[in-house]
Amino acid sequence: MQFTLQQIADALGAPVEGNTSLTILRAAEPVDAGPTDLAMAMAPKYAEALAQSGARCAVLWEGADWQAMGLEAAIFVARPRMAMAGITTMLDRGQGVAPGIHPSAVVDATAEIDSDVSIGPLSVVGPRARIGAGSVIGAQCHVGMEAILGENCVLREMVSIGARATIGDRFIAQPGARIGGDGFSFVTPEVSGVENARKTMGDAGDAKAQSWLRIHSLGAVEIGDDVEVGANCTIDNGTIRNTSIGSGSKLDNLVHIGHNTRVGEDCLLCGQTGVSGSVEIGNNVVLGGQTGVSDNIFVGDGVISGGGTKILSNVPAGRVIMGYPSVKMETHTDIYKAQRRLPRLARDVETLKKTVFKQSSSD
């Protein structure tokens, strides 16, 4: 896969100067760039490394003096990360899944496989499943009974899609993602200590020890268009209604979504975030890494949580939160500053106590 510098600039809609016919084989960090590489040097801090590299061309910040860096050509971008999205899309060589259905794959006779679908070694497609045109199913994947995948989906190796899951177009699942496991739903014949503690916010009471009985998951998982889930991400089936992920949302590695939860559109859930069951998450929500969300609450549109936040109650739209339990970020910052002052405060109090004690003894 190769492009000219002009082709890349045209795809980005970015200005380019110099020898635009240079052939590009890959992108590279400035220090590692060679003659056929496009050096990604989109900030002035990379200028020195770029000048010492073997690069002939680079992506630079606006106004950069490309000739002073010894380059033959350069593309200029105003928004580096946006340019990175376009360049990496063009230069991505994929995962090498061969076209067609591998001889070792097991595809049920009732499954519907559209045109240009690739299915890798040892993968299984269940009864009445449907896979849309242009989709790529990697090695050792499982697509369950009556599951539906839209067009141009990509399942990396060892992804499993449970029965009756409905997934839109351009879905991407990283290795080991599990979509459609049963929800973590159990109940005791009589009121349990957990229920008592939750109700009283205190003691578990005199509830006796009991065995847990399983509540089966009759719902499935619904996923919109342009959704991506990370490696070892898990999304549980709903109990009665479906668990759902809105179009454009992205889930990082090791994210867990509990049964019945609804995640809105264009949300970003970062690594190791855990969302309990029956949570309503609005649109354009960002949950930082290791955020935890308690069950049966809502998180409004546009909410941003800092890493490690534990959300135990409803969050109104647009709020930026942090901490355990979560509070407004500015409040959490004040609390943190106060905590850091506690040792000094304790010393001051001890000094005051000694002073007061001495004065009382002398009176």
Predicted pLDDT of residue 363: 59
Q: Tens of pLDDT along 85-97?
A: 999 999 998 887 8
In a domain, 301, yes or no: no
* CA 122 distance to own-chain centroid: 27
Phi/psi for 35 (5° steps) reads -65, -30
Predicted pLDDT of residue 197: 86
Pairing of strands 221-223, 213-214: unpaired
Total structural domains within the chain: 2
Q: Tens of pLDDT along 237-249?
A: 999 999 999 999 9
- Radius of gyration for the chain, computed over Cα atoms and rounded to the nearest angstrom: 27
**Does residue 333 sit in helix, strand or coil?**
helix
CATH number at residue 41: 3.40.1390.10
Q: Residue 71 corresponds to which amino acid?
A: L
Mean pLDDT of the chain: 94
Predicted pLDDT of residue 202: 83
DSSP state of 193: H
In a domain, 214, yes or no: no
- pTM confidence score: 0.89
256 is catalytic: no
Mean pLDDT over 64-93 rounds to 94
In a domain, 332, yes or no: yes
Per-residue pLDDT at 270 exceeds 70: yes
In a domain, 117, yes or no: no
In a domain, 29, yes or no: yes
The span from the CA of 273 to the CA of 282, in Å, is: 16
| Last-in-domain residue among 91, 117, 145 | 91
Report how far apart the first and last C-alpha atoms of the chain are (Å, whole number).
91
- Which of the pair, 75 or 204, is modelled with greater confidence? 75
In a domain, 287, yes or no: no
Mean pLDDT over 173-195 rounds to 94
| Last-in-domain residue among 48, 71, 91 | 91
Predicted pLDDT of residue 1: 75
Q: Tens of pLDDT along 287-332?
A: 999 999 999 999 999 999 999 999 999 999 999 999 999 999 999 9
Q: Hunting for tokens 């110099």 — which residue is that?
A: 18
362 — pLDDT class (breaks 50, 70, 90):
low
In a domain, 208, yes or no: no
| Last-in-domain residue among 91, 108, 135 | 91
Provide the domain limits for residue 40.
Answer: 3-91
In a domain, 107, yes or no: no
Maximum separation of any 2 CA atoms in the chain, in Å: 99
Q: Choose the catalytic residue: 142, 256, 259, 332.
A: 259
The dihedral region occupied by 205, where left means phi > 0, alpha psi between -120 and 50, and beta the remainder, is left
Contact 42, 59 (CB under 8 A): yes
Strands lying side by side in the sheet with 57-61: 16-18, 73-77, 57-61, 37-41, 26-28
Q: Tens of pLDDT along 1-35?
A: 789 999 999 999 999 999 999 999 999 999 999 99
The token pair that represents 297 in the structure block:
């609450």
Q: Tens of pLDDT along 333-345?
A: 999 899 999 999 9
Per-residue pLDDT at 208 exceeds 90: no
Per-residue pLDDT at 361 exceeds 80: no
Torsion of CA 114, 86, 263, 169, to 10 degrees: -10
